[in-house]
Amino acid sequence: MKKSIISILLIVTLAGSKVLAQDFKEKYRPQFHFTPKANWMNDPNGMVYHNGIYHLFYQYYPDAKVWGPMHWGHATSKDMISWKEQPIALYPDSLGYIFSGSAVVDKNNTAGFGKDALVAIFTHHDPVQEKQKTGKHETQSIAYSLDDGKTWTKYKGNPVVQNPGISDFRDPKVRWFEAQKKWIMTLASKDRITFYSSPDLKSWSRESDFGAKEGGHGGVWECPDLFPIKHEGKDVWVLIVNINPGGPNKGSAGQYFLGNFDGKTFTSNSKETKWLDYGTDNYAAVTFANTGGRNILMGWMSNWQYANQVPTDPWRSANTIARELGLKTVGNEIYLTSIPVKELDALNSTGFLLKNVKVQDQLDLTERAKNKSGLFRLDLTTESKADFSIVLSNEVGNELIVGYNKAGNQYYIDRIKSGKVDFEKGFAEKHTAPRLATGSKISLTLLADVASVELFADNGLTVMTDIFFPDTPISKFHIKSVSGIFLDTLQYKSIKSRNDR
């Protein structure tokens, strides 16, 4: 009797510790992208660098693998690659669920919570009022932490921005505007962006609206961001606006505008709708605060079209790799560029370099690419003279194809036959993206984790992020071109699991 109780206890403890001590062995568990150990995650929130640590908060529902009452989960990292999950930072309260938002370091103690306090600015979403259809169920609130994000105190005067009667009124992204010594809040209000300003993070005044008639309007505007990047000696202001649905390949995506911000009004110089990422799986992407001269973007690697159905267990969703942003002029337009942060290189493992290789029909790199993790980074350069593709496949015939189509001058990711696709009818599709670069030299960087590919073409001018779920791990690797291409260089590096460091 006693013995059996002990063995039951042992089994329970072992089962419990298995979940806690994450082993990274579950099917589809990303190895160099952040995932919560268990349960539901969506948008990255409150990303901020503070005292040598990167903080990632995220929309989290700790009780199930589907979206529910939102909390802010928390993870920390020294390099934006290896993340350690921390206790939940913010729980729902009488004002509602804790929806998306941002965090700042209050260096001048403007709010009076303490010098260098971390202050989170987020949306309170009240489900009771939502049912009553008051149109006022989303308000903006703040909380602060004086111990590096470990514990948080919600401000007694919440909410700090009341709702004027707009049903979608959320996702505040706050930054310090040094020229006028004030805080600027960029807020998504349904089909436009509203800017507010504040001296102390507590009292906010409405400054202006932007975008009711600009950009993509195939869905609700959400999760904005506003920041300058130096380009050719001048500050160019970048306004990111995530939109759902209405993305270039359906569902959720991030668009951006380039222009000027004078502390009150944003003016766009963009003549066309521009997209941060043409893949289907980079949503709610915004930048880290307090990273000095660096602008680092990270998004949720999923799409509201199928996020609640993807076949992973016991968690759902990952984040994209962190990306360094820049600007590049092409013809008369300026575009954002994004490339993986250099910190990822620390996970590079064995690899090989090929130079001056002609690919006619196909080049089978399976044997050369064999490595422990099966994950890799590929950098190749070639000419935009013919169609070619990079094919990742396995023993059971699943194929994920990343390619260039010359006639359309497009890049694409085809996940039609990539494995498990039947959990949502629109998942098995081919996604395309325009090649924006004008020169004939193509350079591609491809990151392949267990269940995702991220393509950075032409030094990050065209980016595509797609998730996929092969029935067995990817084990074969080919470059294909029927009409033939010449590879100037092909550098393959296997990437270690962030768990193996």
- Site of interaction with ligand FRU (CB under 6 A): 42-43, 59, 70, 99-100, 123, 170-171, 222-223, 283-284
Q: Which is nearer to ligand FRU, 171 or 399 (CB)?
A: 171
Round to whole Å and give the CA distance between 240 and 173: 10
- Asked whether the beta carbons of 36 and 22 are under 8 A apart, the reply is no
**DSSP string for residues in 34-98:** ---SSEEEEEEEEEEEETTEEEEEEEEETT-SS--S-EEEEEEESSSSSEEEEEEEE--BTTBEE
**Residue 201 C-beta: closest distance to ligand FRU, Å:** 19
Rounded (to 5) percent helix, strand, coil in the chain: 5, 50, 40
Three-class HEC string of 427-462: CCCEEEEECCCCCCEEEEEEEEECCEEEEEECCCCE
Q: Which is nearer to ligand FRU, 227 or 283 (CB)?
A: 283
Q: Which is nearer to ligand FRU, 89 or 375 (CB)?
A: 89
Round to whole Å and give the CA distance between 91 and 74: 12
**Residue 400 C-beta: closest distance to ligand FRU, Å:** 25
**Residue 164 C-beta: closest distance to ligand FRU, Å:** 18
From residue 103, alpha-carbon distances to 9, 82, 122, 142, 176 in Å are: 42, 20, 8, 9, 11
Round to whole Å and give the CA distance between 254 and 275: 6
Q: Which is nearer to ligand FRU, 223 or 392 (CB)?
A: 223
**Residue 491 C-beta: closest distance to ligand FRU, Å:** 35
426 three-state secondary structure: coil
- How many other β-carbons are positioned within 10 Å of the β-carbon of residue 284? 26
**Residue 427 C-beta: closest distance to ligand FRU, Å:** 18
Residue 191 annotated as catalytic: no
Q: What one-letter code names the amino acid at 351? A: G
Token reading at 201: 């993070």
State the DSSP code for 2: H
**Residue 59 C-beta: closest distance to ligand FRU, Å:** 4
From residue 254, alpha-carbon distances to 149, 217, 218, 322, 408 in Å are: 28, 12, 12, 15, 23
Token reading at 133: 């259809």
| Selected catalytic residue, list 43, 277, 281, 458 | 43
Q: Which is nearer to ligand FRU, 53 or 66 (CB)?
A: 66
Q: Which is nearer to ligand FRU, 30 or 92 (CB)?
A: 92
- Which residues are identified as catalytic? 43
